[in-house]
């Protein structure tokens, strides 16, 4: 079994605990605390990317660590004195990116956590440093029973492996794979990070009366957005309304495309209909409407409308030569 420490970095902002989070926090307190008495933040404990020590956790290891870090204390510089405790984790979860991959080709996956600390005179300076972005790098300390070479799979703690971490073999970076965690000890605020992608993250709490556009504008730059039940309900209602409008807009666009294609076939018969259909798909609805107006004008000149019961506008001959 090997003990490892992984330094991570990020940023942080003040956060307010939601009602359901207070229940989780108060499982670790002697008396119930209120929202005004605690300072909360979100942090990324570790991920499956190769770090500056040329080591990486497997996704299975992250999943196991997620339960091990619940309730663990946050300290400074791994100094394990009792009076050095600053915060405590009250919730953890695994977060997987939908569109981002690591250098090894896996989906980027990280272990997230929510932590709290009491708002006391002793913690005022630390809170101020966190809010100012001074204290933002963190480090975890845990033990793993499996450390293998990424190239050959040999136990990295033995001397039988000839591969060296940090070297390239067959186009791939050699590193140590950390798996089978045995225990999680603590997490600390540190100065120098090893995993620059992770760390304490900035959080934003949306107000209940915010519109979707306001939420987008105000939350820019934050890693975590907290929604109350009321705000979440309002947001889902707005999304449902926009989805309904989107369906109507799609129907309008489909009809507009067909009208433009028909008019194009009338005014430009040399252009293949399927080719022009592909062109229409790349245009906006406004551009299609402009084309429809232009083609309609051209079509009206090429194919003027004549009423069936209209009189013949051709003037009759005067027949002067037949007059007496």
> Total domain count for the chain?
2
Domain presence at residue 165? yes
| 202 — pLDDT class (breaks 50, 70, 90) | very low
Using a pLDDT cut of 90, give the percent of the chain over it.
Answer: 25
Give the pLDDT confidence score for residue 199 in this predicted structure. 45
Joined tokens for residue 25: 């926090």
How much is the pLDDT for 175?
Answer: 94
Model confidence at 79, pLDDT cuts 50, 70, 90, reads low
Whether residue 144 has pLDDT greater than 80:
yes
Domain that holds residue 255: 231-302
Write down the pLDDT at residue 275: 77
Residue 224 has pLDDT above 60, yes or no: no
Does residue 212 share a domain with residue 98? yes
What pLDDT, on the 0 to 100 scale, is given for residue 170? 92
| Same structural domain, 235 and 222 | no
User: Lowest mean pLDDT: which of 49-53, 77-81, 170-174?
Assistant: 77-81
Asked if residue 41 is part of any domain, the answer here is yes
Domain boundary among 178, 204, 227: 227
Q: Is 60 exceeded by the pLDDT of residue 314?
A: no
User: Residue 153 pLDDT > 80, yes or no?
Assistant: yes
For residue 317, tell me if it sits in a domain: no
Are residues 143 and 43 located together in one domain of the fold? yes
> Both 285 and 223 in a single domain?
no
Residue 27 in any domain: the answer is yes
- How far apart CA 263 and CA 291 sit, in angstroms, is 9
Are 205 and 240 in the same domain? no
Note whether 132 and 183 are same-domain residues: yes
- Pairing, β 73-76 against β 176-189: parallel
Q: What is the pLDDT of residues 267-294, one digit of tens each?
A: 887 777 777 888 888 889 898 889 888 8
Asked if residue 11 lies in contact with residue 42, where contact means CB atoms within 8 angstroms, the answer is no
Q: What is the per-residue pLDDT across 114-138, written as a single tens digit (0 to 9) for each? A: 889 888 888 888 888 877 777 777 7
Q: Where are the beta strands (DSSP E) in the chain?
A: 2-8, 38-47, 55-57, 73-76, 87-101, 107-118, 138-149, 168-169, 172-173, 176-189, 199-201, 203-205, 224-226
Q: How confident is the model at residue 203 (pLDDT cuts 50, 70, 90)?
A: very low
8 A C-beta contact, residue 141 and residue 178: no
Q: What is the per-residue pLDDT for 77? A: 65
Phi-psi sector, 276: left (phi>0), alpha (psi -120 to 50), beta: alpha
Q: Of 247 and 161, which is predicted with more confidence? A: 247
Shared domain for 168 and 223, answered yes or no, is yes
Same domain for 169 and 268, yes or no, is no
pLDDT at 304: 78
> Average pLDDT for residues 166-189, to the nearest whole number?
90
138 and 236 share a domain?
no
Instruction: Please check whether residues 163 and 270 belong to one and the same domain.
Output: no
Give the CA diameter of the chain.
Answer: 134
Summary mean pLDDT of the chain: 79
pTM exceeds 0.85 for this model: no
More confident position, 192 or 202: 192
Residue that terminates a domain, selected from 198, 227, 256: 227
Does the pLDDT at position 155 exceed 90?
A: no
The pLDDT, as a whole number, for residue 62 is: 95
pLDDT of residue 8: 53
Task: Choose one of 203, 227, 251: the last residue of a domain.
Answer: 227
Q: Is the pLDDT of residue 46 over 80?
A: yes
């Amino acid at each position: 079994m090997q003990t490892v420490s992984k330094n991570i970095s990020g940023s942080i902002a003040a956060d307010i605990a939601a009602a359901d989070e207070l229940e989780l926090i108060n499982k670790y307190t002697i008396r119930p605390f209120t929202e005004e008495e605690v300072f909360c933040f979100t942090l990324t404990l570790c991920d499956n990317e190769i770090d500056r020590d040329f080591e990486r956790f497997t996704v299975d290891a992250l999943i196991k660590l997620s339960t091990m870090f619940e309730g663990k204390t946050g300290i400074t510089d791994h100094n394990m004195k009792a009076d050095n405790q600053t915060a405590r984790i009250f919730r953890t979860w695994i977060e997987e990116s939908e569109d981002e991959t690591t250098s090894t080709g896996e989906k980027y996956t990280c272990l997230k956590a929510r932590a709290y600390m009491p708002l006391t005179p002793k913690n005022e300076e630390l809170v101020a440093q966190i809010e100012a972005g001074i204290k933002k790098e963190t480090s975890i300390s845990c033990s793993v029973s499996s450390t293998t070479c990424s190239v050959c799979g040999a136990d990295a703690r033995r001397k039988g492996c000839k591969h060296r971490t940090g070297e390239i073999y067959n186009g791939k970076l050699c590193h140590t794979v950390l798996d089978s965690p045995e225990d999680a000890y603590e997490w600390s605020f540190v100065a120098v990070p090893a995993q620059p992608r992770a760390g304490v993250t900035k959080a934003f709490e949306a107000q209940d009366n915010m519109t979707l556009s306001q939420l987008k504008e105000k939350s820019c730059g934050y890693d975590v957005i907290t929604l109350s039940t009321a705000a979440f309900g309002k947001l889902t209602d707005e999304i449902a309304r926009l989805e309904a409008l989107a369906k109507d807009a799609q129907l309008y666009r489909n009809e507009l495309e067909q009208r433009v294609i028909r008019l194009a076939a009338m005014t430009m018969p040399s252009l293949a209909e399927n080719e022009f259909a592909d062109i229409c798909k790349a245009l906006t609805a406004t551009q299609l409407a402009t084309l429809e107006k232009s083609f309609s004008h051209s079509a009206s000149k090429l194919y003027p409308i004549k009423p069936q019961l209209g009189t013949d506008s051709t003037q009759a001959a005067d027949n002067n030569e037949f007059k007496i």
